[in-house]
Amino acid sequence: MQIIETRAVGLQAPQDVEIRVGLTLSRGLYQGTEERIRTDSIAGPSWAVKYKITLTKEQLASINPDLNSVNIDVTEFVRQGRLIRGPENQSQHR
């Protein structure tokens, strides 16, 4: 059985972070989600954690003005310490 828990988190970029070619997050605070996935097996439960951010149309305007928003998996950048879990319930980076 799999259980998924999702909650809002703030993710801080202490410096510019290139997420993919042509998409760099400027230094600042971004609203995101932390998704904890529990999978039960014979050996017992195991947890996986994923982090995602959603960039708004305004944030994407300089990259692709046709996009309204994009949801990006940034788990790898959190694990590397390039994005840091910050305060929750903060206003979105602009």
C-alpha–C-alpha distance, residues 15 and 55, integer Å: 17
The predicted structure's pLDDT at residue 88: 53
pLDDT of 94 higher than 70: no
Tens of pLDDT along 39-90?
Answer: 888 888 888 999 999 888 887 777 677 778 888 999 999 999 999 997 654 4
The predicted structure's pLDDT at residue 6: 94
What is the pTM (predicted TM-score) of this model? 0.77
Q: Give the SS3 label for residue 58.
A: helix
Query: Could you tell me the domains of the chain?
Result: 2-86 (2.30.30)
Backbone angles phi, psi at 6, to 5 degrees: -125, 140
Helix (H) or strand (E) segment spanning residue 28 = strand 28-41
The predicted structure's pLDDT at residue 93: 40
